[in-house]
Each structure stands twice: as C-alpha cells, then as structure tokens.
Structure 1
Amino acid sequence: MRFTGHCRCGQVSLEVQAQTLPPLYACHCLNCQRWSGSAFALHVLCVASAVQVVGEHTTYVHDHNGHTSTQYVCGRCHTRLMNETSAAPGMRVVRAGILEGSEKFVPVAHLWTRRKQPWLVLPEDVPQWQESPTAAEFGRALSG
C-alpha cells in the first residue's frame, strides 16, 4: 500500500510504502506539545527506507536527552514532516497529520501521559506510559 501526504503549502510531498499503515501513537511530552502547538503530537513509526520525501525541505538537527534528532520541515511553509533520532536507528517518525485520511487513524499507544492536558481523557484499553516506555514495551504495544 501507499500512504501519501504533504505539507500545508503543498511544496513537499511524502510517501510511505507499507503493507498496512505503520503504528500510530500519541506523545504528550512538553516538546511535542510545543513543536505541534497542541495538546499532543501524533506520530507514525516507519522503517526509514519506506518513507520518501519529494520537494525542497530543510533539516534541523539538535541533541535531545543524549540522542541526536533530525527534524525535516518544508523549506517554504515550515510544516514539520518527520524526524529521525539516533535512539531508533533506521526508523523515521512521520507526523500523522500530514497524511491523507489521518482523521481515520487511531493511536495504539500514548506516551508521556504525566504531561497530558488534564481535560484529555484517554481510552483505558490503549497502552499508556507516564514517560517513555522501554523499547520492548513499546514494540509490543505497536505490534498490537
């Protein structure tokens, strides 16, 4: 299957090639709240080789908790498209909101719930962690 999306202005498009939509999760940490300007951010965890970006984009590299994070944004409208982190080599974290049909996506996990907005009620049957889960816990949650 092919999942496509684009930035706000349409200059940059993104394509994910996968048999099914890779797992979607919500992160409620302060960084995601600030990056998104919202209560949380929705991410799709993808194998890096499955994600193709076309169009003029810019990268922003920064250190975060001892890991290097590379953010990809549209060079014109600055929509945040995805990121890579040294904490998860070979993976790309696509911003779910840029994908077509994102209104149909449902998170399979919630991270950093200790920072979630108090008015937000999360489903009890969806895995959630007060902070970051271990890689093994996260992997189990994402694999369903």
Structure 2
Amino acid sequence: MDGHCTCGRIRFRLTDRPLFVHACHCTWCQRETGGPHAVNAMIETGRIEILADDPIEILTPSASGRGQIILRCPDCCVALWSHYAGAGRKLAFVRVGTLADPAACPPDIHIFTATKQPWYVIPEGVPAVPEYYDRAQYWPPASLARRAALMDG
C-alpha cells in the first residue's frame, strides 16, 4: 500500500498489511484531526518504506502524558504516522487517510467511544469499546504473533 502527504513531497509504502486498524474517538484525536475520530493503521515501523524524502518528527502532547512523535511533511505539515510511548518507535500508527487507497483499511474497532460525537454512527457489526480494549480479544492471531515478535526483538 502506497501513501503520501498532500503536496507529494513525502511518499511511502507499507510493505505488509497493517496489524490492526483503530478508529479512535478520544477528544485528543478529535482535536488533532478536526473530525469525529482518527483512523490509524498499526504496523511495524520497519515495514514502512520511505520512497521520497524524509518526514520531520514533532513531539506532541498526548492524553497519557507521555506524548507522541508525529511524523509530518516539512512542507504541507500533514501528519503521516505517529509513535506512541507504549511501543516506542517499533510500532507506527499510520494515518489511513494518507494511503492511496484508504478504503483498503477500514477500522477493525472503534475505541474511546465514551467521548464519540453523538451524531457519529458506528457501522453495524464493527466492534466498539468505551475506552481501550484487550488486544487478545480482538486482534487476529497472525497480528498478535507479529506484534509479539516485534516486542521481543
């Protein structure tokens, strides 16, 4: 899956399917996106291939208090992916809207729905939780294995 920023300076490729895709309805994601939620595809950072130029890193506050590193285009400033304190730089949260075919990565789960906008309707059949969740309950076994290998490595 290929992706790019708005101006096209930064181009990248996901060399594998994402581990899991979140639609996060927390108030922080609403503020950062200017919309009802963020949609992030989690993937091992080593499975992101930079095709053109390098994004810049911006340390941004997060609800956890430990911050996140957002990689952005230095020209158009579009957020491409983030690294959160939990997995550090090993795991990237790629903004699905930056992919050439965002429809290929629909959310596997909606999280932090306790603060979702009341007018946003979650599609029927998609798991939704008020806050975070137990990974073992929702992730496919292959994704759990990939994550375990990443964190052990």
TM range (shorter): 0.7 to 0.9
Which has a greater percent of helix? 2
Identity of aligned residues (%): 26
Report Cα offsets for 1:17-72 as digits up to 9, x if no partner: 11x34422200111111111111111000011101234142211145314241110
Q: State the match for 1:13 in structure 2.
A: 11
The correspondence of residues 88-127 of structure 1 with structure 2, limited to 5 A, is 88-89=87-88, 90-127=90-127
The correspondence of residues 45-124 of structure 1 with structure 2, limited to 5 A, is 45-53=42-50, 54-64=52-62, 65-89=64-88, 90-124=90-124
> Could you tell me how far apart the structure 1 residues matched to 2:86 and 2:56 are?
21
> Could you tell me how far apart the structure 2 residues matched to 1:79 and 1:99 are?
12
Range 5-14 or range 115-124, more displaced: 115-124
Q: Post-superposition, which runs of at least 4 consecutive aligned residues in structure 1 deviate over 3 A?
A: none
Q: Structure 1 unaligned runs (5+)?
A: none
SS in 2 for 1:14: strand
Give the C-alpha shift of residue 13 in structure 1: 0.8
State yes or no: 1:41 paired with 2:38: yes
Q: State the match for 1:128 in structure 2.
A: 128
The correspondence of residues 19-30 of structure 1 with structure 2, limited to 5 A, is 20-30=17-27
Which has a greater percent of strand? 1
1:113 partner amino acid = T
> Could you tell me how far apart the structure 2 residues matched to 1:35 and 1:139 are?
28
